[in-house]
Amino acid sequence: MKTILNRFVFLSIMDTIIGQGAEATIYLAENVIKERLAKSYRLKEIDASLRRTRTRKEAKLLEKLQKINFPAPKLVSTDKKSRIEMEYLKGPKLRDFLDEKNHQMQCIELGRKIAVLHNNDIIHGDLTTSNMIVNDELFFIDFGLSFHSTKVEDKAVDLHLLRQAFDSKHFEICEGCFAAALEGYEKESSNAKEIFLRLDKVEARGRNKCKG
């Protein structure tokens, strides 16, 4: 009963639910609150461990992004168990901003910033235009699936996911968007040639699966 009451009090002070995913609910109060919710289908001990591990990993990653001055929400606080409080970034999502007239410049900037992440061995893991905010510059959000990796394969897959996002949400301009993103990526990346070669192999695997 105490847990239920505590959760009711917590929810009652929140202004707006702005996101609901499989793993977490996002609230907007003074800042953005991300709460990883307990899953009844998992053993209680395993569930608590998973939420704690993922919350700590995301919080540490946000701290690293701040250290390298990457445009992402600043970490405000975390309980290190299931809750993260972070800066609220105003502005439209890139998803709602891209069009035939402005996609070139925006996607070049997008590619450059993905390269900055990869140069620091950070894989975003969910590169969609819904996870980018257009403000005074392009900000990245939602690092819940992000992780550290030095592997060329992981960086190539990250770019492949971006292409899939363009195909899904921006079909009419997807080729131009992705080409511009790769142009920006190549300018900033410390290892673009090898990553692009692996990207070709990743996409070839995808085509072969479709044929099968």
What is the C-alpha to C-alpha distance for residues 171 and 155, in angstroms, rounded to an integer?
23
Region of 183 please: left (phi>0), alpha (psi -120 to 50) or beta: alpha
Q: Could you say which DSSP state residue 22 is in?
A: S
Q: Is 126 a catalytic residue?
A: yes
Q: DSSP string spanning 31-96?
A: SEEEEEPP-TTS-HHHHHHHHHHHHHHHHHHHHHHHHTT-SSPPEEEE-SSSEEEEPPPPS-BGGG
Phi, psi of 156 (to 5 degrees): -65, -40
Q: Which of 15, 79, 99, 126 is catalytic?
A: 126
Active site (catalytic) residues: 126
